[in-house]
Chains A and B, each alone.
Chain A
Amino acid sequence: MASSLAKPFRRGTSPRVALLPAGGFYALVFALPVVALLVLSFWTANGFKLIPGFTLDNYVKILTSPLYRALMLRTIGVAFATTAIVVPVAFALAYCMRFVFERRGQMILQIILLSLFSGYLVRIYAWRTILGKQGLLNSTLQWLGLIDQPLEFLIYSNTAVVITLSGLLLPLAVLPLYSAMLNVPRDFLEAARDLGAGKAYCLRTVLVPMVMPGLRTAFAFAFLLSAGDFVTPSLVGGTQSLLIGNVIADQFRGIGSNWPLGAAMAFVVVAVMLCSFLAVVALIGRATRW
């Protein structure tokens, strides 16, 4: 393919120079900042003043402090809970779109993706107004006479965080799963059924392995992005459900900010999340080995 593409340009400047502006931009505005962040994580701060150097103090502090450990565990827990809702629902949804509704699946995908662009902050805020103590759900239930006292666990809790994050991340998880399933002709499922596989066995031994790359991407979206979100816990989570993201954000825009500590936290979170993610992917791979 590529050779015939390049042919009309071949004389004169190579069209590959077109890679340069964006390539340079990526290097300066994405790669360089990440390196800067890494360097900073070995520095220390005194008030707002940054003190260059090389110390592992920040990392030691994060890994030994019971507070940070608890935050990290809670973050992982929330990320897992969200993923455990988002990925199966997205899988079932993609399955229905691809194999039940077939051609109308594209339309359903458009509808689902459109919700991504309906305002990130707005949707989180909307869940607060729905789940709140005097919010839509409680007031409706009370109005209907189903409950006397508002249900308090709905808001400012881990539950609220998981419900809200799931709504935010579901569309992102559907996309890779649906495109992966589009590449699986129905023949393969029928062949398995024809050879005697029941529906569940067919899913486990044929469909899941065949859409594994899509499943991995969906998993990455749900897990990594829910771990990095700090807006959701600060709007719908209570003081007991702050996540590590909130603490990192506070290190950069809070009163007692400490940039180097925040930078170190960011790297710890990314590392921990990446490891948990890889472990789970390996487990799924093992479980679906036929």
Chain B
Amino acid sequence: MVRWNRVLPAGFVTLVVLYLYAPIAVIVIFSFTTSPRLSMPIEGFTLDWYVSALSNPLIATALRNSLVLAATSAVLSGVMGVAFSFGLVAVRRAWLRSTLLAGSLLPAIVPLLVIGIALAVLFRAVGMPQGLLNAAIGHMIVSLPFVVLTMNARLESFDFSTLEAARDLGASAWQAFRDITFPLIRPSVIGAMLLAAALSLDEFVVTWFNIGNQQSVPVLVWGLMRRGVDPSINAIATILLALLVCLVVASNRLGRRNGAS
């Protein structure tokens, strides 16, 4: 007997997943094909586009800048976000706690375009010329809500009686944090930081309004895209994709091991 009540949903889910992943598959596949146009049939495979992409003089700078931005954003928004989440669970009034949480998540639902131009206005008002630093600050405000969200989920399921037990057994507040809390939440902290890094690596909109004449990988890709079809875009995109997948998979692993779900 065919069980239609499972076959139909399975087909539907498969279709949606294809819809989401088809574009990515196309980019990866065509970064290896000989034809400069993205069209069927495929004629042969080559690594030429990677060679030409990597010989683009801007790519090294863009990659370096992107990694600097990602690292800065991961560390600084990570530290601020983790601290914020700890402060949050200590707020005793429930309404205040949920208001603060909602407020801290706000930047995630404001269109990036608005965040990008608002920051540009602020930087211009205080006389800070556009550049990498401005972009880094932008990345932090984009990542911060996601760090808070991740850490808050972890801390809400955290059994704080283990901390009380540690204090009861003679640990100071600091010792209890060092010996109990931090080892328990460490995977979540690292996961949240990797998530921040991934968001930063992929960030384009806020960057574009604030980075000025500097480069980052998405800004470079944007420039190439605007110019037309260039197969080396596929190669750069595939490299970026590989970096992102590594970060997100690692972040996910760490989050899961922690039972943070």
Q: Give A contacts to B, CB under 8 Å.
A: 2-9, 11-12, 14-23, 25-26, 29-30, 32-34, 36-37, 40, 50, 89, 92-93, 96-97, 100-101, 106, 108, 110-112, 114-115, 117-123, 125-130, 132, 134-136, 138-140, 143, 167, 170-171, 220-221, 224-225, 227-231, 235, 245, 248-249, 252-253, 259, 262-263, 266, 270
Which of B9, B94, B241 meets A101, CB within 8 Å? Answer: B9
Which of B83, B141, B202 meets A18, CB within 8 Å? Answer: B83
Question: Taking the nearest CB of chain A, how far is it from the CB of B131, in angstroms?
Answer: 15
Which of B84, B92, B209 meets A23, CB within 8 Å? Answer: B84
Contact A129 B30 (CB under 8 A): yes
Contact B164 A7 (CB under 8 A): yes
Q: Does B50 touch A at the CB level, under 8 Å?
A: no
Question: Taking the nearest CB of chain A, how far is it from the CB of B169, in angstroms?
Answer: 12
Q: Does B176 touch A at the CB level, under 8 Å?
A: yes
Closest to B163 in A: A8
Report B-chain residues with C-beta under 8 Å of the C-beta of A33. 115, 118-119, 121-122
Report B-chain residues with C-beta under 8 Å of the C-beta of A16. 87, 90-91
Contact A228 B20 (CB under 8 A): no
Contact A100 B9 (CB under 8 A): yes
Extra inter-chain contacts (7) besides given A29-B137, A101-B9, A129-B26, CB under 8 Å: A5-B160, A117-B202, A120-B202, A121-B225, A125-B233, A229-B111, A230-B205
Which of A34, A100, A132, A252 meets B5, CB within 8 Å? Answer: A100
Interface SS, A side: helix
Contact A12 B12 (CB under 8 A): no
Contact A231 B205 (CB under 8 A): yes
Contact B88 A136 (CB under 8 A): no
Report A-chain residues with C-beta under 8 Å of the C-beta of B83. 18-19, 21-22
CA distance A58 to B83 in the complex (A): 41
Q: A26-B103, A140-B40 are in contact. Are A8 and B164 (CB under 8 A)?
A: yes
Q: Categorize the interface residue count of chain B.
A: 35 or more
CA distance A4 to B167 in the complex (A): 13
Which of A36, A93, A100, A136 meets B118, CB within 8 Å? Answer: A36
Which of A20, A117, A224 meets B111, CB within 8 Å? Answer: A224
Which of A5, A19, A125, A263 meets B84, CB within 8 Å? Answer: A19
Q: Does B47 touch A at the CB level, under 8 Å?
A: no
Contact B141 A248 (CB under 8 A): no
Closest to A93 in B: B16
Contact B27 A37 (CB under 8 A): no
Closest to A226 in B: B111
CA distance A222 to B156 in the complex (A): 28
Contact A19 B88 (CB under 8 A): yes
Question: Taking the nearest CB of chain A, how far is it from the CB of B104, in angstroms?
Answer: 7
CA distance A12 to B247 in the complex (A): 38
Contact A32 B140 (CB under 8 A): no
Q: Does B240 touch A at the CB level, under 8 Å?
A: yes
Question: Taking the nearest CB of chain B, how far is it from the CB of A48, in angstroms?
Answer: 10
**For A29, A118, A229, which residue has the most chain B Cβ atoms within 10 angstroms?**
A118
Report A-chain residues with C-beta under 8 Å of the C-beta of B173. 8-9, 11-12
Question: Taking the nearest CB of chain B, how far is it from the CB of A267, in angstroms?
Answer: 9
Q: Which of B164-182 contact A (CB under 8 A)?
A: 164, 166-167, 173, 176
CA distance A253 to B160 in the complex (A): 50
Q: Which of B100-152 contact A (CB under 8 A)?
A: 100, 103-104, 106-107, 109, 111-122, 124-125, 137, 140-141, 144, 148
Contact B111 A25 (CB under 8 A): no
Contact pattern, B 218-261, Cβ under 8 Å of A = 1, otherwise 0: 10011001000100010001001100110111001000000001
CA distance A220 to B38 in the complex (A): 35
Which of A119, A136, A270 meets B39, CB within 8 Å? Answer: A136
Report A-chain residues with C-beta under 8 Å of the C-beta of B148. 22
Contact pattern, B 15-46, Cβ under 8 Å of A = 1, otherwise 0: 01101111110110010000001111100000
**For B80, B117, B140, which residue has the most chain A Cβ atoms within 10 angstroms?**
B117
Closest to A99 in B: B9
Q: Does B81 touch A at the CB level, under 8 Å?
A: yes
Q: Does B185 touch A at the CB level, under 8 Å?
A: no
CA distance A248 to B88 in the complex (A): 36
Question: Taking the nearest CB of chain A, how far is it from the CB of B199, in angstroms?
Answer: 8
CA distance A15 to B91 in the complex (A): 9
Contact B218 A121 (CB under 8 A): yes
CA distance A270 to B111 in the complex (A): 9
Contact B9 A228 (CB under 8 A): no
Contact B37 A134 (CB under 8 A): yes
Report A-chain residues with C-beta under 8 Å of the C-beta of B144. 22, 25-26
Question: Taking the nearest CB of chain B, how far is it from the CB of A124, in angstroms?
Answer: 8
Q: Does B208 touch A at the CB level, under 8 Å?
A: yes
Contact A114 B245 (CB under 8 A): yes
